[in-house]
Amino acid sequence: MLLNYIGAFLLIVFGLYIILVKKNLIKIVVGMSLLDTGINLLLVSVGFRPGGTAPLFMNDLKPGSFFVDPVPQALTLTSIVIGACVTALALSLVIKVKEHYGTIDADKVRRLNG
Amino acid sequence: MKKAVVWFTITTLTVFAVYVSTKMISFGSSYNGIANVIVNDTVGKTGAINAVTAIVFDFRGYDTLGESFVLFTAITAAAAVLRKPVHSIISKGKGGK
Amino acid sequence: MKSNKKSYKSSPSTNKKSKNIKVNDVIITSCANVVLPIAIILGAYVIMHGHLSPGGGFQGGVLIAGAVAILYVAYGSDGVRKLFNITRLKASESMGALGFIFIASLGLIYGVGGYRFFANTISKGTPGTLFSSGTIFWMNFAVGYKVLTGIGALILIMVSSLNSNKE
């Protein structure tokens, strides 16, 4: 269980590093998506109970078995969809920036061009 | 200067993350919370076998409503940004007599 | 007085002209002809059995919207534009959202055990069969249809804005 938490925090720190350092606009969008993935993994890993099974009421459950927590799994569904929507909107903004400025270097698209 | 700030931030965050993840094992999810109430009532109140679908559509339906709003807004905004402007013919004959 | 403001407008000037590739590969087309019915049937199965096995409205809707992307890769943007109409897809997404709200407000009309917004008022059958849980079964279809047409329209919008840049 320690591995899940360390992996989630590493993904968050990697995503933050890419947003801070890189100059290409598409790489910044990739970093935003990586940040979303790390947060979703952290959210699902909180609801783990040792020895539990998947939360489905099937016909052949052994007596004395219990479920893992199903509430964080339901909240993560919403978070995944919102992450995909933010990525789609950011990519369409990058398309318009390329049309208008001719370059996608984050250092050169600084001035407002009427 | 900027590189020093970035490296300091990343190192502090990594050390904090490793320390928190060793303390977080005992945090977990409690056995007396809301999950017990929901799992005990799923087959009786809704009749669905899948507990996660019953939570998403029945016990917490408002969150699904808000998420469909976000989906609709994102697609409409993307269609509004990527619009092709129509060149108007009116601006050619302006100001002449 | 000369203004020294550089213009950032992009000029479509590269040294080599980009040819419009109109010849489709035989391998990609025949593979897409095999994969496309499997993707559509799998997506419909995941949507319909949302209350019996892992899945539901959102997951199945995205699976069927992947069929639009496969069509674009195999047949080019002309084939996709002949098959789908962006205005009709956007109208269908609104129909899906209105259907979801209509099913949710059945609890206000037929209030069984109190008038609430998301009350489960359709009869619940025996758990384990297909028509079992009350409003969850119909809500899966509404949300799946909304996600399907919405993401299909999004892919078509982004693809059709790329092609008008090259010419």
CA nearest neighbour of B57 among C109, C143, C130, C149: C143
pLDDT band at A22 (very low <50, low <70, confident <90, very high): very high
Residue C154 has a pLDDT of: 93
Rounded to the nearest integer, the mean pLDDT of chain A is 89
Contacts of B80 (CB under 8 A, 6+ apart): none
Considering only CB atoms, B21 lies closest to which of A2, A20, A73, namely: A2
Considering only CB atoms, C143 lies closest to which of B43, B50, B68, namely: B68
| E strand spans, chain C | none
* Chain B interface mutation, best of A92, A94, A96, A97, highest count of B Cβ atoms under 10 Å: A92
Residue C45 has a pLDDT of: 94
In a 10 Å sphere around its CB, with 0-12 CB exposed, 13-18 middle and 19+ buried, how is residue C76 labelled? middle
Residue of C nearest to B55 (CA): C136
Residue C116 has a pLDDT of: 72
pLDDT in tens, B8-45: 999 999 999 888 888 877 666 667 778 888 888 888 88
Residue C10 has a pLDDT of: 45
**% of chain B with per-residue pLDDT over 70:** 85
Q: Which residues of chain C have pLDDT under 70?
A: 1-24, 112-114, 163-167
Residue C42 contacts residue C55 (beta carbons within 8 Å)? no
CA distance, residue B90 to nearest chain C CA (Å)? 23
CA distance, residue A58 to nearest chain C CA (Å)? 9
A 10 A CB-CB count for C114 gives 7
Residue C17 has a pLDDT of: 45
Domain ranges across chain B: 50-82
Contacts of A49 (CB under 8 A, 6+ apart): A66, A67, A68, A69, B28, B29, B31
pLDDT higher than threshold 70 for residue B90: no
Q: What CA–CA distance (Å, rounded) separates C104 from C75?
A: 40
pLDDT in tens, A86-107: 999 999 999 999 888 888 888 8
Amino acid at A47: G
CA distance, residue C8 to nearest chain A CA (Å)? 5
H helices of chain B, in order, are 2-23, 34-45, 51-54, 61-81
DSSP 8-state code for residue B90: G
pTM over 0.90: no
Residue C107 contacts residue C119 (beta carbons within 8 Å)? yes
Q: What is the CA radius of gyration of chain C?
A: 23
CA pseudo-torsion sign A10, A13, A19, A21: negative
Residue of B nearest to C127 (CA): B47
- Interface contact A59, partner C, CB < 8 A: yes
Considering only CB atoms, A69 lies closest to which of B10, B18, B29, namely: B29
Residue C19 belongs to some domain of the structure: no
Matching CATH number, A2-49+70-101, of 1.20.120, 1.20.1250, 1.10.260, 1.10.287: 1.10.287
Q: Number of folded domains in chain C?
A: 1
ipTM of the complex: 0.83
Residues of chain A found within 8 Å of residue B27, distances taken between Cβ atoms? 46
Contacts of A52 (CB under 8 A, 6+ apart): A65, A66, A67, A68
- Its domain, for residue C66, covers 26-166
Residue B15 has a pLDDT of: 92
Residue of C nearest to B73 (CA): C150
- Distance in angstroms between the alpha carbons of the first and the last residue of chain C: 36
Residue C11 has a pLDDT of: 46
Residue C14 has a pLDDT of: 43
A68: left (phi over 0), alpha (psi -120 to 50) or beta: beta
Residue C21 belongs to some domain of the structure: no
